Amino acid sequence: MHYDEFANIIKDRREVLKITQEHLAELSGIGLRTLKAIETGNGNPTLETIIKIIEVLGLELNLNIKNIDI
């Protein structure tokens, strides 16, 4: 998944739940400026920040790690 797609998922889910950006930022414990940057695709959130947001939105994160031959 590309970052723009992730940003759209966050924004769409927030809107479906009728949560404002301000409220989501408060509920997830992140800054409003950070959330706005994430939703516009301009942020560079840490994994910790992503997890805080998706937990509030009732989403799940799945990571796939590719095998690398060394």
Domain locations in the chain?
3-57
Model pLDDT for residues 13-25, shown as the tens digit of each residue: 999 999 999 999 9
Pull the structure tokens for residue 70. 């060394």
Model pLDDT for residues 23-52, shown as the tens digit of each residue: 999 999 999 999 999 999 898 899 999 999
Closest CA to 36 of 10, 1, 17, 3: 10
CA-based torsion, 63, 13, 32, 43: positive or negative: positive
What's the pLDDT score for residue 4? 86
Name which CATH class applies to 3-57. mainly alpha
pTM of the predicted model, to two decimals?
0.84
